[in-house]
Structure 1
């Protein structure tokens, strides 16, 4: 026992170097723990491909701004689905839920003349109620989530049609709502937020490294921490710089700045990351997704966790619906239908969230949303027909699911 304790204490004092960190990471990759590696590789490959095919337009300032705006609603919807997928469940109604919530917001604005904050609250409450109903049927009544959400996928479209009317359109003209996807922040504010986020991220990573060192725990080497901070800083500050360039099609007007919707998405992703990684609730979500019976025996309220993830997903679907309404300046009866759900599920899975539950992060929604948006945007610039976009997006989703399944088999074989 004394020898074992001494060995353990020595391991706690061992300093990890850049070389050992690289070896550990490669060992995890070989064991099937791929993380976000496939989605990052796919995103970089797609950017290189479309830049080579459309060098004059794909990486232009105007198209980069379009990419961010197009990715917002898909990313938010995928972010909510990450919580559901972590439990090995599915929500087929998330897309049409966003449409119903957007319709509620628009009708209250137009017919009742309510201010934007009242209509936004009403849309969020609508999403929360829908999610609570789904969670109740799945967690308490024990109906499979596939059946429940498929039924709501059909039923909620009828509600949207009833609210708006067949062939109708409800315009969205409120300045605050429209600004989400169509207006930009002042240049100084964009730089201020980017700098603040960089400083906060750097401080949090350095503080974590210092605490691990003080407690004698094996952690990441300081060089790796500095490299991660540099990558995040380059992404934030570089993106802000590109958004600050004038992208107006005419020299008579000036169009620059970060779209207002981008910090909204950033706040949601940061909040979801904090909840999943830093709270007891997040640990319970992973525990239930990994093994629900073991989690129940450990004292976790599995029923409450299952209900809550559907409520989170539907509430975020409401936010996605409002962002879409802002981008389109209107709400139609088919809002949230069609390929909206498929793109969102595809974004979550492509980003790295497992369909089998227990594995995934909030960042997966961002990476997957960017991959899906880049595919749609790039193929649009190439003039590809709609069927080609569907075929390629479906193929990428199938590839991501296959990689996930193979990685799980590899992990099982290596005992991880």
Structure 2
């Protein structure tokens, strides 16, 4: 059952990537936002498929209530939250009719979000952060899962939009298509008429619950702590809340990639989450990328490459000295893999795959050493050696 859910996520991701050129990071980001119930911001020029990507995702999840609106400095609360009830006003009740508006939506796309004026801002902040909408003073729980915000530019300092900017955990800068082949394919409409996969709201909720159960290894917590220290050394101080929320992003990224355990390299997505101002982006990206490499995977590649080198070396030189050195190296590599496995139980399956390969190479090395010696040895030595290896 879980594998079927992973397969559906993969199909949706591939279909979106086929339809929206050079938007792989944003496609992953919007799926991660939806699974983790977080909010995502896309900043870039007009005509870069920001609204189209959001609307397509809403179509994919059948049963989603979707709300989309372009904000301007003249936008009114009625446009976003619904008009006042005339019947209510007659009775002295200040209540909005929220049908088909943001308070009743699961997925929301707000274009030019930083054009939101003060008349809208307070209710918008509460709705985004707490999923509550105050209607006639009474808090109403909203079904909101994710808000996808878009803007052509970053908010300027002093506009009073810092709190709104902070509500978006994931922030992606998006640009025009760069590759000419992709540009021509987009112009021709390649991939636009394909049958898109779909899922139900029930399946999405199940995936969100699975996301909550994705395991975060101790190693990931330790690396996040190191990242926090290095960011502070640079004068960059993401809030404790932002770090805490980032855990759900890591869990969702693992699930989008078909895993139920967070890997160290999943941390790379946090370069879109842990900066506060534009001038911090490069420093944050450098620090996170420096830590977001999968140490276990790199070690496995290194050990397997070394095992291959030992095997090819012994094929060239089968002298007793070379044979002894090769035997010792292979034994050491097998020992290193067993130690690696004992300290990384969450990666046991990956390590066992390499351990089987290295053990097989170890046997090949032993055979390449023993067979020539065995054929040239006297009969009595052959007999004693045969007895030894049978044991």
The TM-score with structure 2 as length reference comes to 0.22
The structure richer in helix per residue is: 1
Report 1 or 2 for greater relative contact order, CA contacts < 8 Å, sequence distance ≥ 6: 1
The TM-score with structure 1 as length reference comes to 0.21
